[in-house]
Amino acid sequence: MRAIFTTRNLIAAGSTVASIALLACAGVFVFRAIARRGPFSAQSVSLAKQDDWQAFGGTWQYADGVMQNNSDERGAKLMTGPTYWSNYSIEADVLLLGQYGDAGLIIRATDEEEGVDAYHGYMAGLRDLDNTLILGRADYGWREYAAKPVAPRVNAQMWYHVKFLAYGCDFAVSATAPGGQTTSVAVEDPGCLTEGRFGLKSYNTGAEWRNVVIRKATRQDLEAMTGGARLPIATPDELPMGAAPGSYDHYFEPIQRDLLAHHTDLNAQPISTLRLLSPDVPASVTVHGVVTLTSPVLFIQDPTGGLAIPDSHAHAPLQIGDEIEARGDAEPHDFSSRLRNADVRVLWSHTPVPPVAVTAAQAATGAFDAEYVEIQGRLEHKDEAPDHTLVLSIDEASQSFLAIVSEAGQAERLRALKDKSLLRLRGVCVVDSRYTHDLTSFALLLPSFNDVVVLEGPPWWSAGHIVAMTIGVLLLALAALSCYVLIERWRMQAVLEERGRLAHEMHDTLAQSFAGLGFQLEAIRDEANQGSNIVPQLEVARVMVRNSHEEARRSIAMLRPENLESVGLLRAMENCAQRMVNGTSSIAVRVSSAGSERAIPLRISDTLMRIGQEAVANAIRHAHPAHLNISLDYLRSAVELVVEDDGCGFSLTSELAGFGISGMYKRADSIGATLAIHSAPGEGTALRVHAPTPPSFFRAFWMRMQNSWRRQSNGNAHR
């Protein structure tokens, strides 16, 4: 019946677990089926929480509700959202910072990587190169589905409201100019991508985004944007929509206009030659370079070196990657130069300068001052500066330096950087004491937090982890010791219960039988004739039965010790001795204790009790003493039990030192105690048991081994 009951329980438990698992899977399936359609209601996407966004290239910064990519990098993306959203729309205000590029929104994107069109998804936005609203698909390559001229035109530094919607395989995009004119375009892509994330994207220009809102898309939303018209099938276009073949003048008109306006000074000097000028004679110079940093100071770089322009006058906002012409007063310094009172104008939107990989020791020489570099190092600590910047203290080998980055919109991500992490940093190297504060030989000015890449976390073997591991090991050891003590306690309790049961059995059978036999023999003796030869034999039998009854009572007393936890070891020993000497008025029992009384582990106290009982029984049975002394001494890390009598004594080598004494040695050895017996014929006997108490576990083990070796040596000597 028990086996059947257990099997049924297992089947019921398995069925319950399977039902819960099926319900959980069904819940996940239903949730994903509902959630993949898009957000449940219109949501204003937080640009401030950049921990929710993932950057792929670009220099992304957030301030005052605006997300800015201050870089001309080709194909910079900032992505967020779940990968299983399908039907939704995203809209935002978009502003192009420079010319000859495009910026807009991405939907249904997956597998994003750094690089031009390195993702699967759809992009729609504004392109000022040909003044169009574009819509296309990226599959690690660009397929343009539509490029429609924008009315009145696409201008940099102006806000446009762009809305991009995907429903099924239909896609629609609209752009509203500052004057209220709206341009729309829509296509159908039969082999469309059905789900993916959304994000922001710019190409070959910097851009800004604000008021980003995402909402669930319906058929009604699509018809409101398209007027219910049947959408054309998406086919890649090579020319702007509405332009006749051969209309290349329209496509290249912005470039031609810009080339006419931006003639360059052919007498521009290489940046490295400015250090050769006299510092005492002001010199007006013209230089060309690519912008590597715009804040807190403008830095440019050409193939010969870098240059700082502290107070520049630019006609348009500058972006990282812009190629500029600067005229001003050269100010030579030890490692690089500055250009004061500079007049700056943009020549071209250029690809950002790639960083030069150097070591901290190389950067400390000043050879790379004002240049865009890449360095690795471990983060020692970070500090917040009053001007909303974060200062990272970095160590690389034996060289230390500072890395300074704006924490606008990045506070949570910056604070999440852990000390001792290995970082890769990209920024402009400077040896100016305004940034180093004379604490390090150089500092690194980072364009954005995206220029901080965590290569690996802090080493596991840190002081904090070692302390935590030590505490954990100690807690585990404490838990294991507690379990061991609890198990030993249960085992000892089971042993005591079994002894109690055996004592009851012996009392109800053997002891009662001895008592009955004694009564019967007394009755037979009383009825027999006094002169009969059987009377002496009956008396001998009665005495033997009485002695056997006493032995049974002693055995029962030894099997049923008092509750040691409630009355204590000494009191239990006294009660046991009093029961054994009951009826023997010639033996006086005296007990004493020394030291601070404390609780003794049950296993130790029970073993001492058994040894003491055996010693008292042997003294009463064989020594015939007049006095019996029992003492218990509580030492600092041990407890000592002494049983002494003034009986006849015995020789330890005699046959009296037999099974009982051997059993006491074994009991003492089981708890790591030492047992010593001093006796001689006519001099009495003294038994001393020295038992260590926790936490002297290892000492107890050592003493147990010593006792074993000592007994082995004694056995060899007796042979």
Question: What is each CA distance from 511 to 194, 277, 514, 555, 660, in whole angstroms?
Answer: 91, 121, 5, 10, 22
State how far the Cα of 537 lies from the Cα of 543, in Å rounded to an integer: 10
pLDDT above 90 (res 377):
yes
Over the stretch 251-296, which tens digit does the pLDDT of each residue have? 455 555 555 455 556 678 899 888 888 877 778 999 999 999 988 8
Q: pLDDT value at position 60?
A: 87
Q: pLDDT value at position 511?
A: 65
Q: pLDDT value at position 662?
A: 83
Across 28-141, where does the E strand assignment appear? 43-44, 54-56, 60-63, 66-69, 76-80, 88-96, 102-110, 120-127, 132-139
State how far the Cα of 352 lies from the Cα of 291, in Å rounded to an integer: 8
The residues pairing with 288 across neighbouring beta strands, listed in sequence order, are 325
Please, are residues 201 and 77 in contact by the beta-carbon 8 Å criterion?
yes
Q: pLDDT value at position 704?
A: 59
Q: pLDDT value at position 271?
A: 92
Nearest to 288 by CA among 320, 259, 327, 341: 327
Tell me the HSE value of 582 on the side-chain side, using a 13 A CA sphere: 11
Q: pLDDT value at position 127?
A: 92
Q: Which CATH number fits domain 271-349: 3.40.640.10, 1.10.10.10, 2.40.50.140, 3.30.70.3270?
A: 2.40.50.140
**Looking at the domain 43-256, which fold is it?**
Jelly Rolls (2.60.120)
Please, are residues 582 and 554 in contact by the beta-carbon 8 Å criterion?
no
pLDDT band at residue 241, thresholds of 50, 70 and 90? Answer: very low
pLDDT band at residue 225, thresholds of 50, 70 and 90? Answer: very high
pLDDT above 90 (res 395):
yes
State how far the Cα of 385 lies from the Cα of 403, in Å rounded to an integer: 12
pLDDT average, residue stretch 22-49: 65
- The residue ranking higher by pLDDT, 581 or 229, is 229
pLDDT above 60 (res 577):
yes
Please enumerate in sequence order all residues whose Cβ is within 8 A of that of 450, keeping only pairs 6 or more positions apart, or say none: 55, 58, 59, 60
Q: Would the CA dihedral through 323, 327, 333, 334 be positive or negative?
A: positive
**Looking at the domain 564-719, which fold is it?**
Heat Shock Protein 90 (3.30.565)
pLDDT above 80 (res 716):
no
Over the stretch 533-551, which tens digit does the pLDDT of each residue have? 777 777 777 777 777 766 7
Q: pLDDT value at position 248?
A: 44
Q: pLDDT value at position 633?
A: 93
Angle in degrees, CA 123, 126, 127, rounded to 5: 105
Across 128-274, where does the E strand assignment appear? 132-139, 142-149, 159-167, 170-176, 182-188, 197-203, 207-216
State how far the Cα of 217 lies from the Cα of 222, in Å rounded to an integer: 7
Q: pLDDT value at position 464?
A: 76
Domain 356-456 has CATH 2.40.160.10: no
Domains 43-256 and 271-349 alike in fold: no
Which amino acid makes up residue 505? E
Cis, peptide link before residue 152, omega less than 30° from 0: yes
Please enumerate in sequence order all residues whose Cβ is within 8 A of that of 243, keeping only pairs 6 or more positions apart, or say none: 149, 250, 251
pLDDT above 70 (res 95):
yes
Q: How far is CA 351 from the centre of its chain?
A: 40
pLDDT average, residue stretch 614-633: 88
pLDDT above 90 (res 181):
yes
Angle in degrees, CA 265, 269, 271, rounded to 5: 130
Which amino acid makes up residue 516? G
State how far the Cα of 449 lies from the Cα of 174, in Å rounded to an integer: 32
Q: pLDDT value at position 558?
A: 61
Q: pLDDT value at position 188?
A: 95
Q: pLDDT value at position 355?
A: 92
Nearest to 37 by CA among 5, 72, 84, 103: 84
Q: pLDDT value at position 250?
A: 47
- The residue ranking higher by pLDDT, 644 or 9, is 644
State how far the Cα of 210 lies from the Cα of 219, in Å rounded to an integer: 26
Over the stretch 485-514, which tens digit does the pLDDT of each residue have? 788 778 877 877 787 777 777 766 776 677
pLDDT band at residue 428, thresholds of 50, 70 and 90? Answer: very high
Instruction: Give me the helix-helix angle, 569-580 and 602-618, nearest 10°.
Output: 20
Q: pTM surpassing 0.75?
A: no
Q: pLDDT value at position 169?
A: 95
Write down the mean pLDDT value for the chain: 82
Question: What is each CA distance from 526 to 519, 529, 535, 537, in whole angstroms?
Answer: 11, 8, 9, 13
Q: pLDDT value at position 536?
A: 75
pLDDT above 70 (res 118):
yes
pLDDT band at residue 223, thresholds of 50, 70 and 90? Answer: very high
State how far the Cα of 332 lies from the Cα of 341, in Å rounded to an integer: 14
Across 385-522, where does the E strand assignment appear? 389-396, 399-406, 422-430, 443-445, 452-456
Specify the residue for token string 């004119």.
181
State how far the Cα of 443 lies from the Cα of 405, in Å rounded to an integer: 11
Tokens at residue 370, please? 């004002």
Over the stretch 310-369, which tens digit does the pLDDT of each residue have? 988 877 788 888 888 999 999 998 889 999 989 998 887 767 888 999 999 999 999 999
Q: Where are the domains of the chain?
A: 1-35, 43-256, 271-349, 356-456, 461-560, 564-719
Over the stretch 676-701, which tens digit does the pLDDT of each residue have? 999 888 888 999 999 998 764 455 55
Backbone angles phi, psi at 43, to 5 degrees: -125, 130
Segment holding 326, helix H or strand E: strand 322-332
pLDDT average, residue stretch 405-428: 80
Q: Considering only 3-12, 244-253, 520-529, 579-588, which range has the smallest mean pLDDT?
A: 244-253
